[in-house]
Amino acid sequence: MASVLFATATMADTLEVNENHPTKYVVQKGDTLWDISGKFLKKPWYWPKIWNVNPQIDDPHWIYPGDVLTLVWIDGKPYLKRDASVQKGDPIPTINTEAIKTFLSHDLLLPYDQKELDKLPYVAGVNDTITLMSSTDKINIKGQLEQGKQYGIYHKGKVIINDKGEKVAYRAEFVGVAVGGEQQGKFNKSYLMKSVSATRPGDYLMPLNADTGYSLYFVPKAASVDTIVVSLPDSYNKLAGTYETVILGKGSKDGVSVGDVFSIMRPGVDMVGETADTNDYGLYSSAGKRLVAAKDNVLPDDLVGQAMVYRVFNEVSLAIIMKADTSVSPGYKAVKPE
């Protein structure tokens, strides 16, 4: 008992074990790595710190239904041990597949480089010259499609700008699904089988569910860089909540990788005035007051949740909000978790 109390006290700043943690846990079908991490740790992204790698087990981070996890203390530090896994079926995912898989499959970005964009097939139109197409329409696609294969149709949305202010991609707004048909020269006679909004000439096509570019089997870990929420995938939505996606302003070239967990912070607002009588929000004060306001007169940031990266591009990355005490908006900070 003394060693347990000592370890809990000395590691409190970095690795806090839940007071009501189980000593043993049998992994159940439907569990996620994030949820299991949360049973043992107050901060689930510190999972790698307590996972005792058993050299006789392949892929030691992957956990399967039926595995028995035991929390032990070694040299005053907590570790998780696992009995040799039979590895029946698929390992449990890090995040809830059923809750977000449909949403994730539409989270793509279109390249900002025009040469790369021009390589994608796009909707040419239909012979009755309508500009808004809906389900059951036969449509002509300019470019090569594989007959019988499903393709997502995406409207080019607003430009994505990273946290350095550089234009790096376009939002890919999912509008429907087409099935490749007969190829006739440069055009493919396709079938528009599903619409979530009107398909227009010029909308781009990418293979649906062929290369999602992400895996749900990864280990959460603390992010090593700071950035901001630069955008949301949906142009019409300005707020995001739990299990929704945000676009972060850094990517692989900045050191972001799949599994990185960020603390989401609502930025403190500027204040003016140095006394109770003159105190006011900078947003509502006069230009003159804002001009002479102290630069350090800013309210502290608020911690509002955590987000975990599930897909990384070169310049930006996509993250799922794992917890949110309030809605998250573009401009919120995504920082290394303390």
> What pLDDT digit, counting tens, does each position of 69-94 carry?
888 888 888 888 887 666 667 788 88
Q: What is the pTM of this model?
A: 0.78
pLDDT at 100 over 80: no
Closest CA to 249 of 126, 82, 139, 109: 109
* pLDDT (mean) for 260-287: 88
Band of residue 8 on the pLDDT scale cut at 50, 70, 90: very low
Which residue, chain included where needed, has tokens 């993250």? 319
CB 265 within 8 A of CB 307: no
pLDDT tens digits, residue range 120-158?
A: 999 998 888 777 777 667 899 999 999 999 999 999 988
Q: Check residue 212 and give its pLDDT.
A: 52
Q: Check residue 87 and give its pLDDT.
A: 62
Residue 143, by phi and psi: left (phi above 0), alpha (psi -120 to 50) or beta?
left
Percent above pLDDT 70 for the chain? 83
Averaged pLDDT score across all residues of the chain: 84
CB 242 within 8 A of CB 322: yes
pLDDT at 18 over 80: yes
Q: List the beta bridge partners of residue 169.
A: 111, 160
Lowest mean pLDDT among 17-26, 103-112, 231-240: 103-112
pLDDT at 296 over 50: yes
User: Strand 150-161 vs strand 167-184: parallel, antiparallel, or unpaired?
Assistant: antiparallel
